[in-house]
Amino acid sequence: MSTPQETAVSLEGLTVRYGKSTACEDVSLSIARGAVYALLGRNGAGKSSLVRCLLGQQKPSAGRALLFGRGVWSERTALMARVGVVPEEPDAPPAMNALQLSDFCRRLYPRWNQKEVEDRLARFGVSVRNSFGRLSKGEKGEVMLALALGHGPELLVLDDPTLGLDLVARKALYEDLVGELADRGTTVLITTHDLSGIEGIATRVGILKEGRLVLDEDAETLKSRFRRIRYGNQITETRSAYGTELDAFEAVKVKVRGWGVDAVVSNYNDLSFERFRSTDGVVDAEVAPMSLEEIFLAVAGESSAEKAAETPIAKGGPR
């Protein structure tokens, strides 16, 4: 178990309720210092409620959130000096320009680096003279990122930061994240729908589904055990337990096609696959790696209501 010195973020049994509605339920996770943690989930999965608790903006209904081993709700003022935040909806006084906003922030943070802020805005190509209210949504997000990094935070929280950014701006943002990590070892927690962009950066992945943390794992381990398997499936005289050929792989999703079976599995290994492809009735079996986006869709792509509405496969397996 990580010590407070090694851990930037800890959630312990965090639950958030709004009346009779539960936004997130008994969420526990730990983010090591220097990690890039991608918190994924469909809209309404509970990400925003969790982030608000983490930043001390909301008191959880149960459990607690800690930053650097200290309770956020009771020590928010001191802890926020060590955190940079880029909200999903950029928010700043609309009449102020980027330089004025930076000058305002400089008075709040003793370690403020004005030159670094200006250099980052220049790389983004954002006008420092235009008022915040006149900037595009993408430019507003870039200003918020520059300000969030201005005091050299130990933890950077990004709530869907690429929303509204074009391809060039997204690339610049991720390059800045990589540089920040390399230079300072900054810890990053990011919620995002841009899974292809974060895939090469995230070191750990968490997936929320209907308020529960259903997956929390190192990114490389996750990608090594998820695979897509396709094969022709034939009935034979020697098959006594038809439909069980995928049991060893812990199939997450199985679709029966006209040509055979298309399955997503969560417990892949090469040895099991070699045994599987020699199974009587399994024809032309192929295996392919999966992207983070494909894994996310397989794990969280359907709600319980949507899944219940599907026509179940007949007992005995696909034919």
Domain with CATH 3.30.70 in the chain: 226-309
CATH number belonging to the domain at 226-309, selected among 1.10.287, 3.40.720, 3.30.70, 2.60.40: 3.30.70
- Which residues are registered as beta bridge partners of 262? 230, 255
Helix/strand/coil for 262: strand
The pTM score is: 0.87
Positions of CATH 3.40.50.300 in the chain = 7-220
The confidence band for 100, taking pLDDT boundaries of 50, 70 and 90, is very high
Query: CATH topology for 7-220?
Result: Rossmann fold (3.40.50)
Q: What angle do CA 143, 146, 149 make, to 5 degrees?
A: 145
Give kind and range of the element (H or E) at residue 155: strand 155-159
- Tally the C-alpha atoms within 13 A of residue 288's C-alpha that lie toward its C-beta: 11
Is residue 31 within 8 Å of 56, Cβ to Cβ?
Answer: no
Cβ-in-10-Å burial (0-12, 13-18, 19+) of 186 comes to: buried
Per residue in 254-299, pLDDT tens? 998 888 899 999 999 999 999 999 988 899 999 999 999 999 999 9
Give per-residue pLDDT as tens, 138-178. Answer: 889 889 999 999 999 999 999 988 877 778 778 777 877 77
CA-nearest of 236, 290, 287, 229 to 260 is 229
Q: What confidence tens digit (pLDDT) does each residue in 212-246 have?
A: 999 999 999 999 999 999 999 887 766 655 567 88
Cα distances from 166 to residues 136, 162, 290, in angstroms, run 11, 8, 25
